[in-house]
Structure 1
């Protein structure tokens, strides 16, 4: 099992220095990758839990974000080339790039450029987004009902640009004549991770059609991972396909080591999955491994846990806990 760090660029307050320190430690500890979060706004009505949908459209969560509207966070995409310059070993990516906020051809050329800047260490995460208020702030409110189709079209365009010397495309979301787009990505293929949190069938179709390299969920229990992987595998088999080689099964999971045991009984997405004593976290990671997870994205809490504590936890997870997990 690999480890990834989900940088806390989205929290009540975070500094560049904190992100820099966490990234440097992840590299020192030989983490596989670091990821950022794509967040444009926190609506003021989120503070009153009056948003149209709960966080991530996940059942059991309030209709508000876990970060205050007056918080001081950083947008995830500008951090990617900065991370490329700050690291030499870590893979880097944004989980998940909401494709409707970006022109597909522009995104394709930016990703190719960053892959070169990083020496071929870029992971590409794509998804549809879920917050109508954010679509409005990004000036693409009209795309919200068609956001899943936009992801599909973006995948078509990105791979068309990367795999052809010249490429043209004519669809609902992009219409351009035969053109060149500069450098191809250094990696061939550039690994793409998909985030589809509601429909295993849709995820399986994306994986089969586009040869995607991974799936990323949010706050998934071991039982969730086993169910998602099993359902996607069945859908792939019906399509006459299998998971690609080295397919990564991932989830972003809030993580903190505590002195006293925490209640980890099932309470949906708000269950303490990787929050608890070192023994509880070891047991949970063993269960994830058994269920088929290949890479948890360790996600520091949104507030109340200082970066220094998170750094201590990362060291303990790497040096004390993971050797026992991987030996199981």
Structure 2
């Protein structure tokens, strides 16, 4: 199982120095990937509850960097690790612009981009970018259509219910041919089936492993029904540790526990068949120095097992 780290693109460590420190930590410690998230708003009272924990949005989101710009910066200071978005809210800009940005990053990173898309959870952000909250599934489908045409065609045009693109030559080609992998964060039955039907993999968040693998089975079944090979799909599991000073009841994992318990969870995930797991120690109250220490202890513990 591959292991990754979240870049500090939220909160007080969202600085050039913070990103550089985590970049160096990832490459030196042997991590396989670095990941960023996406926010455009941080209201005091969001229009919808945060979809985990107690429903309160983490206040670190009040300071947020652009995910693709941050990954471009990280690409210029790394040589090996892959660079992923977990997640990029892919409906907040026209798909032709999204295609250009993603392709440029894949070229500049020499093929290290992993595109992780999500639909977000906060209606306020859709209001802020003038995109309707309703109809997100249909908008995602058409966005994926445009991305696919952009990446696989020398010349293409598009006319759909939401977007119209006149015929254009596409000279910019992704380093990864024909395209960087596209993963989706989805949890509804329809979203899981969409992954199996047309995407490269899944971006879940940590949950009890029997539930996780049950949802994975839904995705694999949908792939078979779409006459795709389910073994080509990949899962990259996000873990947001809530670290405690003493061991918690096993029933609370992975919601909260010690670093050792999260190491055990990662080992069990590997045995269950998870392809990649990445941790965001920025969800804790750790300083940047403490995050570096935790990252070193985490990968050492998982690899030792």
**TM over 0.5, yes or no?**
yes
Residue 279 of structure 2: which of 282, 298, 301 is its match? 298
Match of 2:204 in 1: 217
Match of 1:48 in 2: none
Q: Show structure 1 runs of 5+ residues with no match.
A: 46-50
Provide the rounded CA distance (Å) in 2 between the counterparts of 1:256 and 1:316. Answer: 16
Q: Structure 1 residue 216: deviation in Å? A: 0.4
Match of 2:95 in 1: 104
Match of 1:175 in 2: 164
1:52 equivalent to 2:47? Answer yes
1:29 equivalent to 2:19? Answer no
8 A contact 2:96–2:147 mirrored in 1: yes
Between 1:283-292 and 1:150-159, the stretch displaced more is 283-292
Residue 195 of structure 1: which of 185, 193, 198 is its match? 185
1:144 equivalent to 2:136? Answer no
Match of 1:77 in 2: 68
Distance 1:115 1:301, change over 3 A: closer
SS, match of residue 161 in structure 1? helix
Q: Structure 1 residue 219: deviation in Å? A: 2.8
Q: Structure 1 residue 243: deviation in Å? A: 1.6
Q: Structure 1 residue 282: deviation in Å? A: 3.2
Distance 1:186 1:13, change over 3 A: closer
Provide the rounded CA distance (Å) in 2 between the counterparts of 1:264 and 1:173. Answer: 47
Q: Structure 1 residue 255: deviation in Å? A: 2.8
Distance 1:222 1:117, change over 3 A: same
8 A contact 1:260–1:276 mirrored in 2: yes
Match of 2:194 in 1: 205
Q: Show structure 2 runs of 5+ residues with no match.
A: none
Provide the rounded CA distance (Å) in 2 between the counterparts of 1:61 and 1:224. Answer: 20
1:271 equivalent to 2:255? Answer yes
Match of 1:124 in 2: 115
Provide the rounded CA distance (Å) in 2 between the counterparts of 1:258 and 1:309. Answer: 14
Deviations 1:62-114 (A, max 9, x none): 2x311167x33323222121111111101112111112211101111111111
Report the TM-score when normalising by structure 1: 0.85
1:65 equivalent to 2:57? Answer yes
Report the TM-score when normalising by structure 2: 0.91
Match of 1:248 in 2: 234
Q: Structure 1 residue 13: deviation in Å? A: 5.5
8 A contact 1:250–1:295 mirrored in 2: yes
How big is the alpha-carbon RMSD for the aligned residues of Structure 1 and Structure 2? 2.2
Provide the rounded CA distance (Å) in 1 between the counterparts of 2:10 and 2:201. Answer: 23
Q: Structure 1 residue 265: deviation in Å? A: 1.7
Distance 1:213 1:259, change over 3 A: same
Q: How many residues align?
A: 304
Provide the rounded CA distance (Å) in 2 between the counterparts of 1:239 and 1:113. Answer: 31
Provide the rounded CA distance (Å) in 1 between the counterparts of 2:201 and 2:293. Answer: 29
Q: Structure 1 residue 286: deviation in Å? A: 2.4
